[in-house]
């Protein structure tokens, strides 16, 4: 059972979401959607990796997803904003946006790793299994 209600999560994330919108702001109420998607994907990746750092429990993640997604949809105007953000980052325009934002290699790798998990969970699982397999020594 989640430790926080959706209303509590909405209050908890309001300052973060507001800050993301301000940081992605261009002029007045206009938002650079590419920059906002980077912030959104970064928030979600960090939240999944360490929910306690944001004051929630792992059981809160589903409700947190709904709360963050709803807020992001108001900014981006698209359904499933979190998933759409990762889809965007996996494409050419996302690559250009990450270049323009001058993301460090580890930040970029984190976002692309989460993109892989979210957009192709079966393929990500196969890749992870391959990586974890012990390497066979080359034949002599």
Is the residue at 139 inside a domain? no
Residue 138 lies in a domain: no
Average pLDDT, the chain: 88
Please report which confidence band the pLDDT of residue 80 belongs to, taking 50, 70 and 90 as the band edges.
confident
Residue 17 has pLDDT above 60, yes or no: yes
Residue 140 domain-assigned?
Answer: no
The pTM of this model reads: 0.84
In a domain? residue 1: no
Does residue 137 lie within any of the structural domains? Answer: no
Under the banding of pLDDT at 50, 70 and 90, the label for residue 87 is very high
In a domain, 15, yes or no: yes
In a domain, 107, yes or no: yes
Domain that residue 72 falls in: 6-132
Q: How many domains does the chain have?
A: 1
Please give the angle made by the CA atoms of 44, 131 and 113, to the nearest 5 degrees.
20
Which of 138, 7, 140 is CA-nearest to residue 70? 7
């Amino acid at each position: 059972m989640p430790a926080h209600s959706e209303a509590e999560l909405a209050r908890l994330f309001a300052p973060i979401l507001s800050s993301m919108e301000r940081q992605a702001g261009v002029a007045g109420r206009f938002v650079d959607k590419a920059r906002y998607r980077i912030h959104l994907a970064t928030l979600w990746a960090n939240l999944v990796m360490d929910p306690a750092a944001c004051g929630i429990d792992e059981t809160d993640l589903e409700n947190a997803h709904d709360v963050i997604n709803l807020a992001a949809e108001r900014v981006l105007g698209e359904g499933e904003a979190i998933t759409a953000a990762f889809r965007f980052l996996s494409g050419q325009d996302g690559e250009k946006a990450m270049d323009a934002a001058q993301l460090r290699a580890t930040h970029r790798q984190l976002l692309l790793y989460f993109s892989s998990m979210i957009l192709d969970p079966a393929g990500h699982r196969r890749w992870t299994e391959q990586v974890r397999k012990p390497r066979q020594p080359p034949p002599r």
